[in-house]
Amino acid sequence: MQEQALIYRDRGLELQRQGNTDEALAYYQKAILAYPEYAVACNDAGVVLEGLGRIEEARDMYLKAIKVDPNYVNSYSNLAIIYEGEGNYTEALNYWMKRATFGAPDDPWTEAARRRIDDITAAYPDAYNSSSQMFKSRLKGSEREVVSLGMNAEEAAVISQQSLDNKTRAANYLARAKENFAKGRHVEALKEATYAEYLDPDDNLMIKAFIEQVRRKLLQ
């Protein structure tokens, strides 16, 4: 079924390039039916739906893409753009931060996400606090779902190692944030500190205190 889904998706791309969006969407939907965990096809369908002005349906497809594959970062930026268009900067910032944090360093969209975080934070500093709390709440909910499913020793070890890796990355982001703050680059400091909090959300008082310090400086 996965091979058939790939065939459907390729046909959808071909039709989309030809400007035949309705048929392209039909083939993306066939790909998703054949392989429901096909995040790429979900995102493709979302792009077509968004182009057709069917924003709610597009949003649903992007959310489905990251539900079946949280590492599929393209849908994070697509969601961020939708929320920016609606003037919901809290949600937009939430998804831009995910795109910037989990995207590959050499991906142009990772840098684009960083720039958007700078712009939104500078224009709407209060959006940061709301999006941060939202992210942490959702993350804790996801953790509860994982626990409820049960894990074997190998799976638990993988998750434990990932947690340790994230804490290391968080420490690196916080160090860069402090360097930027000392140099007067306060927006950049807030951005880096926010990445640190996202990667280490377990009520890290040092990160939270530093973020509050930066936010007070920005509001002066």
Per residue, what are the HEC states of the chain? CHHHHHHHHHHHHHHHHCCCHHHHHHHHHHHHHHCCCCHHHHHHHHHHHHHCCCHHHHHHHHHHHHHHCCCCCHHHHHHHHHHHHCCCHHHHHHHHHHHHHHCCCCCHHHHHHHHHHHHHHHHCHHHHHHHHHHHHHHHHHHHHHHHHHCCCHHHHHHHHHHHHHHHHHHHHHHHHHHHHHHCCCHHHHHHHHHHHHHHCCCCCHHHHHHHHHHHHHHCC
Mean per-residue pLDDT, 25-44: 96
- Give 156's pLDDT tier (boundaries 50, 70, 90): very low
- Give 148's pLDDT tier (boundaries 50, 70, 90): very low
How many Å apart are CA 49 and CA 35, to the nearest integer? 19
Mean per-residue pLDDT, 140-154: 42
pLDDT confidence of residue 137: 59
Name the residue type at position 70.
P
pLDDT in tens, 108-122: 888 888 888 888 877
Angle at 101 (CA atoms; ends 97, 102), nearest 5 degrees? 120
With a cut of 90, say whether residue 37 has pLDDT above it.
Answer: yes
Taken in order of first residue, the domains within the chain and their CATH numbers are 1-72 (1.25.40.10)
- The residue with tokens 């979900």 is 42
pLDDT confidence of residue 203: 54
pLDDT in tens, 65-99: 999 998 899 999 999 999 988 989 989 988 998 88
Mean per-residue pLDDT, 41-63: 94
- Spatial CB neighbours of 123, under 8 Å, sequence gap ≥ 6: 89
